[in-house]
Structure 1
Amino acid sequence: MNLISLGNSDMEITPIGFGAWAVGGDWKFGWGQQDDSDSIGAIHQALELGVNWIDTAAAYGLGHSEEVVARALEDWSGPRPYVFTKCGIIWDDAGKVDFVVRAKSIRREIEASLKRLKVDTIDLYQMHWPADELEETLEGWAEMAKLREEGKVRWIGVSNFSAEELEKASEIAPITSLQPPYSLLKREIEKDVLPYCGKHGIGVIVYSPMGSGMLTGAMTRERAASLPKEDWRTNSPEFQEPKLSENLALVGRLREVAAASGRTPGEAAIAWTLRRPEVTAAIVGGRNAKQVKGIIGAMDYRLSGVEITHIEGV
């Protein structure tokens, strides 16, 4: 399996990493109820199939995802994977979330994440979202650079940044990686963000390459209509008309291309994101071992130009 260097780091990662968003369970931006044993089984399955990094965040499940990742790794006897997490979304005792990247807040967050993950150092620490005010974003980024100097984190990255925000943050400290949303349903970063990262050697690990489940091949009109109310996707236009019909037609094209190679639509959707030279790797979530097994094959799946044209409906 090919390993790829992530940005300016010494980490060589697999083309797919395990995303632990859904394993956090029920919270404001969650995917509904989740069984921890299924989550641990999904993580173990990904590692058994060769994945060598896990991406989580303090906010996922309000700390629960990090705890589940730690439990999964306690029971794992193979090579230890890299563990990436994020800061910048905090919550109160009532579970109300807020977006804060002030230095003092990040300092509190890192200590909590280290404790939940049961580690002394985090491999990649990422700012989950930039603040509305650039001044706050840069204050937080400067603090993350200090955390790296202190050895609490090995490398630092960002998530959901614009090209302008990447430029400003880079003036304070080098950015190892960017984590943006990217899929056939969300292509905005192609305009300036991906070119910026390619030019400046910033690694890109994209999230939601399967459109938050829409492009897996398992989503149907009926399933979209029956998502539990606590699933954040019930408020997404992509899972409602008129976008729903367009997206299901896109899945049909993914299925046609994937079937010719004995692959799944989800694998084709992931491979589509990996076609870009600026994209280092893709984050792929799974709520159980079976789901993981059906998509990890995308690590060695590459699409031809003709297949890409057909998928895009050109």
Structure 2
Amino acid sequence: MEFQELGASGVKVSRITFGSWAAGGWMWGGTEQNDAVGAIHASYELGVTSIDTAPIYGQGLSEQIVGEAIKSLPRDKVQLLSKFGMRWDLAQGDFAMKTKDNAGHDLDVYKYASRGSIIKECEDSLKRLGTDYIDLYQQHWPDTTTPIDETMEAVQRLMEQGKVRAAGVSNYSVAQMEEAEKTIDLASNQVPYSMLRRGVEQDVVPYCQAHHKGILVYSPLQLGLLTGKMKPGQYFDASDLRSTNKLFQPESVARVNGFLNKIRPLAETKGATLGQLVLRWTLAQPGITVALVGARNPEQAVQNARAIDLQLSFEEIDFINKQLQALAA
């Protein structure tokens, strides 16, 4: 495994990090807890020591699963990355979405990051995770109803208390990062990024490179679309966020599969899956520190972790980029 420090925080993370959104079941059609714990253990055995979670994933379930999984692991060898600022139990802040919990009940979610809310969320997360500190604590989404300096002062206080090792943000713009930096030294920004979604290359990536910030990318496999396993017209349950995502419409899936078929021979010559090739390409992009990858069972976790063993030459990356340009044309 390859490891990299997030900014100047002292927190070193595995470049492939276990993303536990799907493990919480929420918006992914449920979860099998034993499979998720097994997936985390299988990842750890192959050097994936970093786990990214959030309270909103399964309304606490993902953090509980992660807490269960790390009970048998040495805490100082594991990096826990969690988040704050998405409340489903409090109607304050920016309204984020109407959704359903894992039991099918209606749920209203708010982006809220006031001082008091953050302190409460951190205590709740520490209990669920069964630990006394979080390695990277990230604001999940910006909250326009709370001044950024108030939010960051609360995180700074948690760092001073030893409950948080490093401060991060997620889905922040450059302007929002600049504002946060007036109060705290950010270690990283977690953003959406994949072969099909590269908007952050315009400004967020250059800013983070120039200011020595880590970039953690989520959905590098574009919710599974870039694994090559999706078929046009594939059915998704209404509780699955892919059921309404336009990238999963039949015409889009067919176009993406056409691109994947062009790079498939490269994966095969290296004894790799398409997913592994896509992950390695992602980590080869300038400024990208970490790829967050979910797994719902040990087999998927092992495949994801082994992507790091794949080596791509400049020519091979260039070949993939040319196929991507043709797809975008």
On whether the aligned pair clears a TM of 0.5, the verdict is yes
Match of 2:166, SS state, is: strand
**Aligned match for 1:308, one of 291, 294, 317:** 317
2:149 counterpart residue number: 138
Q: Percent identity?
A: 40
2:5 counterpart residue number: 5
- 1:77 Cα shift? 6.4
Contact 2:231 2:253 in 1 (8 A): no
- 1:141 Cα shift? 2.0
Higher alpha-carbon deviation: 9-18 or 118-127: 9-18
Contact 1:207 1:284 in 2 (8 A): yes
Q: Which amino acid aligns with 1:184?
A: M
1:127 counterpart residue number: 139
Residues 94-126 of structure 1: CA deviation (Å, up to 9, x unaligned): 643211111111111111101111111111100
1:188 counterpart residue number: 199
Q: Which amino acid aligns with 1:136?
A: P
Contact 2:3 2:15 in 1 (8 A): yes
Q: 1:149 to 1:230 in 2, by over 3 A?
A: same
- 1:283 Cα shift? 0.8
5+ residue gaps, structure 1, are none
Q: How far apart are the structure 2 equivalents of 1:217 and 1:241?
A: 13
CA-based RMSD: 1.8
Match of 1:138, SS state, is: helix
Q: How far apart are the structure 1 equivalents of 2:274 and 2:185?
A: 36
| Correspondence 1:59-70 to 2 at 5 A | 59-70=56-67
Question: Is residue 23 from structure 1 mapped to residue 20 from structure 2 by the alignment?
Answer: no
- 1:176 Cα shift? 0.6
2:276 counterpart residue number: 267
Question: Is residue 152 from structure 1 mapped to residue 163 from structure 2 by the alignment?
Answer: yes
Match of 2:225, SS state, is: coil
| Correspondence 1:210-249 to 2 at 5 A | 210-222=221-233, 225-249=234-258
- 1:273 Cα shift? 1.4
- TM-score (ref. length: structure 1): 0.93
Q: 1:103 to 1:79 in 2, by over 3 A?
A: closer
Match of 1:185, SS state, is: coil
5+ residue gaps, structure 2, are 91-105
Q: 1:253 to 1:81 in 2, by over 3 A?
A: farther
Q: How far apart are the structure 1 equivalents of 2:114 and 2:212?
A: 27
- 1:291 Cα shift? 1.0
Residues 239-264 of structure 1: CA deviation (Å, up to 9, x unaligned): 11432222222222342221121111
- TM-score (ref. length: structure 2): 0.89
**Aligned match for 1:104, one of 116, 119, 122:** 116
Q: How far apart are the structure 2 equivalents of 1:245 and 1:141?
A: 44
Q: How far apart are the structure 1 equivalents of 2:130 and 2:260?
A: 40
Contact 1:179 1:205 in 2 (8 A): yes
Q: How far apart are the structure 1 equivalents of 2:56 and 2:147?
A: 19
Match of 2:178, SS state, is: helix
Q: Which amino acid aligns with 2:139?
A: M
Higher strand share: 2
Question: Is residue 199 from structure 1 mapped to residue 210 from structure 2 by the alignment?
Answer: yes
**Aligned match for 1:36, one of 29, 33, 36:** 33
Match of 1:180, SS state, is: strand
Paired residues in the alignment total: 308
Q: How far apart are the structure 1 equivalents of 2:298 and 2:311?
A: 23
1:175 counterpart residue number: 186
